[in-house]
Amino acid sequence: MGTWDVTSPVIEAKDLDLTFETNDGPVHALKGVDLSVEKGEFVSFIGPSGCGKTTFLRCIAGLETPTGGALTVNGMSPDEARKSRAYGYVFQAAGLYPWRTIAGNIRLPLEIMGYPKSEHAERVDKVMSLVDLKGFGKKFPWQLSGGMQQRASIARALAFDADILLMDEPFGALDEIVRDHLNEQLLELWARTEKTIAFVTHSIPEAVYLSTKIVVMSPRPGRITDVIESPLPRERPLDIRDTQQFLDVAHRVREGLREGHSYD
């Protein structure tokens, strides 16, 4: 821990391996994964089903234990990082408790982690305005659209002081217009909060639009086939997607996916 400082990578994987032992034999979910993510980066993981995207995110979160190699998060073991509340986790399903209000849902991690009660209202208000949900605190989840529910789940992951946001296909279930809007909002939120974001997606345009770094993965065994440092500026209006630079990056991602695909 002592050697870590703000210039060190926030997430660092070296030759990471993870094999699941199953009744049908071993499943090599991650093989030789090397990756370095700096503070404030927006890194996306893209690849076909089963290439280990979720498994890698779960390793970062300390929810899976690699069977080989080394992984540090904020200079600590993932388990230590989890205990020090290094990250917030956003899933594909918003996963809000239906019997709690939106504010009640967002407050939940603060209650669980024992944040002083005097801070709750201010923190909840702050993150609700960050995700543009001001005024909806007293509503129940079912009174909100899918996109709003997903924003509430992002607010919940931001309510405490984690500097890493892990997002596993958070917008996968939403229609394209809503998804565009949330992508734009997420970039704004990222710029304002300076979080480091690790984001899993199946969508090439989403990965290219959002990321400073795109990690292309391929299955059997799950491995990294390309890491693209995005040449796009950090400030990105939606119509950047029509530029040649954007299309060039998208093309490289598509080629990487094609190379790793076995079509079986």
Chain residues binding ligand ATP by CB under 6 A are 20, 22, 27, 29, 47, 49-55, 222
Distance, first Cα to last Cα, the chain: 44
Q: Report the nearest approach of ligand ATP to the CB of residue 13 (Å).
A: 14
Instruction: Pick between residue 55 and residue 149 the one whose CB is nearest to ligand ATP.
Output: 55
124: left (phi over 0), alpha (psi -120 to 50) or beta: alpha
Q: Report the nearest approach of ligand ATP to the CB of residue 18 (Å).
A: 8
String of DSSP letters for 157-204: HHSS--SEEEEESTTTTS-HHHHHHHHHHHHHHHHHH--EEEEEES-H
Instruction: Pick between residue 7 and residue 22 the one whose CB is nearest to ligand ATP.
Output: 22
Q: Report the nearest approach of ligand ATP to the CB of residue 15 (Å).
A: 18
Identity of residue 54: T
In 3D space, the residue among 184, 197, 183 whose CA is nearest the CA of residue 89 turns out to be 197
221 prior amide bond cis, ω within 30: yes
Q: Report the nearest approach of ligand ATP to the CB of residue 189 (Å).
A: 24
Tell me the backbone φ, ψ of residue 209, rounded to 5 degrees. Answer: -65, -40
Contact 46, 228 (CB under 8 A): no
Which residues lie across from 25 on neighbouring strands? 22
Instruction: Pick between residue 47 and residue 109 the one whose CB is nearest to ligand ATP.
Output: 47
Instruction: Pick between residue 55 and residue 101 the one whose CB is nearest to ligand ATP.
Output: 55
Instruction: Pick between residue 142 and residue 263 the one whose CB is nearest to ligand ATP.
Output: 263
Q: Report the nearest approach of ligand ATP to the CB of residue 204 (Å).
A: 14
